[in-house]
């Protein structure tokens, strides 16, 4: 069903899981080397994933993304993830702004939950979502990654509220 493939980047080897529909999950480099079962994944998808990932890591807007398979998310989560795709490189939104964008004002906290459940970090840029007043907020993969990604996109520490 799901095939895992290794995506090499300047930051290490990400692992990507592809379904028949497209890219379904992505995980940050974890040190451990895992097996690559993605021999029959369309090379185009792999190429697009690698190119998009490296583009964002360079702080550039990716030309195009591979097809994304959101089908494992709830309706609400899918709405949030789609809303995140609109945020350009170097831009940020607050959890509350996303809540409004998906027609659920007041659900800022629930948006945080949906961001945490985002199966395709980086390409679905949950790292561009901050808490109110430019506070950093959280990140499931660890705040070091959120900081690094934002820094690559030109969002400096200075623009973020400390803490």
Partner DNA sequence: AATCGTCGTTCTT
Partner DNA sequence: AAGAACGACGATT
Q: Which residues contact DNA (rule: CB under 7 A)?
A: 74-77, 94-96, 104, 106-118, 121, 126-127, 129, 131-133, 135, 137-141
| Least distance from DNA to the Cβ atom of residue 143, Å | 9
Q: Which is nearer to DNA, 14 or 95 (CB)?
A: 95
- Torsional class of 30: left (φ above 0), alpha (ψ -120 to 50), beta (otherwise): alpha
Query: Which of 80, 126, 130, 150 is the catalytic position?
Result: 126
Residue 126 annotated in active site: yes
| Least distance from DNA to the Cβ atom of residue 11, Å | 17
Angle at the Cα of 86 from the Cα atoms of 117 and 88, rounded to 5 degrees: 105
| Least distance from DNA to the Cβ atom of residue 162, Å | 12
Following CA atoms 140, 141, 146, 152 in sequence, which dihedral angle do they give, to the nearest 10 degrees?
-150
Catalytic annotation, residues = 126
């Amino acid at each position: 069903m799901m095939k895992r493939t290794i995506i090499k980047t300047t930051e290490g080897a990400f692992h990507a899981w592809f379904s028949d529909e497209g890219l379904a999950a992505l995980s940050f480099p974890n040190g451990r080397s895992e097996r690559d079962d993605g021999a029959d994944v369309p090379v185009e998808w792999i190429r697009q994933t690698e190119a998009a990932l490296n583009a964002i890591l360079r702080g550039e807007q990716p030309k195009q993304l591979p097809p994304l398979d959101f089908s494992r998310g709830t309706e609400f989560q899918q709405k949030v993830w789609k809303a995140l795709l609109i945020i350009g490189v170097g831009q940020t939104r607050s959890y509350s702004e996303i809540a409004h964008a998906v027609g659920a004002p007041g659900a800022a906290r629930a948006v945080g939950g949906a961001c945490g459940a985002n199966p395709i970090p980086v390409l679905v840029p949950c790292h561009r979502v901050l808490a109110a007043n430019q506070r950093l907020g959280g990140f499931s993969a660890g705040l070091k990654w959120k900081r690094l990604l934002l820094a690559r996109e030109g969002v400096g520490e200075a623009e973020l509220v400390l803490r």
